[in-house]
Amino acid sequence: MAAGDGFKDITFTSRDGLKLHARHYPAARPATNRRAVVCLPGLTRNGRDFHDFALALASHAGQPRDVFTVDYRGRGYSEWDPDWKNYAVPIEMLDVIDFMTSAGLSDAAIVGTSRGGLIAMIMAAAQPRLMGCVVMNDIGPVIERKGLTRISAYVGRMPLPRSWKEAEKLVADMSRKAFPAVAESEWEAVARQWFNERNGRPAPGYDPKLSHAMSVLDKPAPALWPQFEALKRVPLLVLRGETSDILSSETVDEMRRRHPACSAYTVKGQGHAPLLRDAASIAAVYEFLEAAEAAEQPAHALADQ
């Protein structure tokens, strides 16, 4: 484990022998009565997506929390899998479970962006003790085909930029239309989340063989309402990008109808998936985490009597 800019790097080993990477952002003050937060990124993304978000929660002036971010196999600084068939939600869920077990984490707040939210849904059924509340960032049981088609068009096919300036332009050009609220000055930082760095230049941020894992697009993605049922035992916050082409407002409404403790927040001027870099989104998550714990206090107090 090595210290970084407000975080410590963690290397752990998957049950099939891959060296995987995570980060720990320690709370600025001891937070023994606050849930740790575990952040799970999207399909081709990595834990760097949550850097600003994690720093904000870990250093919050009110109630800081320990925050952990995970790079799935084949993403970020984790090893690539020699068998692309292992780039699958159930196996990535096992990697997350192994990490949380090794880190001694249970009853955590899970923040899942896109694919991370899918992992959270099946983990709620497989290992319910690991989570105490969940934030699903622009994902739900119904995944819009338009968005899946867009994603499949670039996974494994994105050209590798020759410089960081070129990377910034590529990311901005791909994202600007769906993210009108994001300032031009932010795209450089986002580019450094998308790509790794090698010898001072952009390097692939994920294994291009992830494109093979997109075979689900050969037919409409099945609705995951049965998997969603497992989340009903914990408080849930659904974030939706205002211009999202993956999560519809109708699906959010149905999630709220089916879940007894589901709240929703729309991230203005952002698409799939909200970057979790703006103060308003971070505040919405912080307030949800605080409210979820406050709602449990009476039950805990009765149990102690």
pLDDT tens per residue, range 114-139? 999 999 999 999 999 999 999 999 99
Confidence of residue 19 (pLDDT cuts 50, 70, 90): very high
pLDDT surpasses 60 at 3: no
pLDDT surpasses 50 at 217: no
Residue 200 lies in a domain: no
State residue 147 phi and psi, 5-degree precision.
-70, -40
Structure tokens at 66: 């320990």
103, 20 contact by CB (below 8 A): no
Residue 47 lies in a domain: yes
Residue 12 lies in a domain: yes
Alpha-carbon gap, residue 107 to 185, rounded angstroms: 37
Alpha-carbon gap, residue 117 to 161, rounded angstroms: 29
CATH code (residue 294): 3.40.50.1820
| pLDDT for res 12 | 97
Residue-number span of the structural domain to which 37 is assigned: 2-156+206-304
Average pLDDT on 93-100 reads 98
The answer for residues whose C-beta is within 8 angstroms of residue 282's C-beta and 6 or more apart is 52, 53, 56, 57, 276
The answer for residues whose C-beta is within 8 angstroms of residue 35's C-beta and 6 or more apart is 65, 107, 108, 109, 132, 133, 289, 292, 293
| pLDDT for res 215 | 56
Confidence of residue 247 (pLDDT cuts 50, 70, 90): very high
Structural domains counted in the chain: 1
Name which of 222-231, 255-264, 294-303 the model is least confident about. 294-303
Residue 189 lies in a domain: no
pLDDT surpasses 50 at 162: yes
254 alpha-carbon distance from chain centroid: 22
Residue 165 lies in a domain: no
pLDDT surpasses 60 at 303: no
| pLDDT for res 304 | 41
Structure tokens at 213: 């894992």
Confidence of residue 2 (pLDDT cuts 50, 70, 90): low
Q: What percent of the chain has pLDDT over 70?
A: 93
- The number of CA neighbours under 13 Å toward the Cβ of 195 is 27
Residue 177 lies in a domain: no
Residue 167 lies in a domain: no
Residue 175 lies in a domain: no
Higher pLDDT, 46 or 3: 46
261 alpha-carbon distance from chain centroid: 21
151, 43 contact by CB (below 8 A): yes
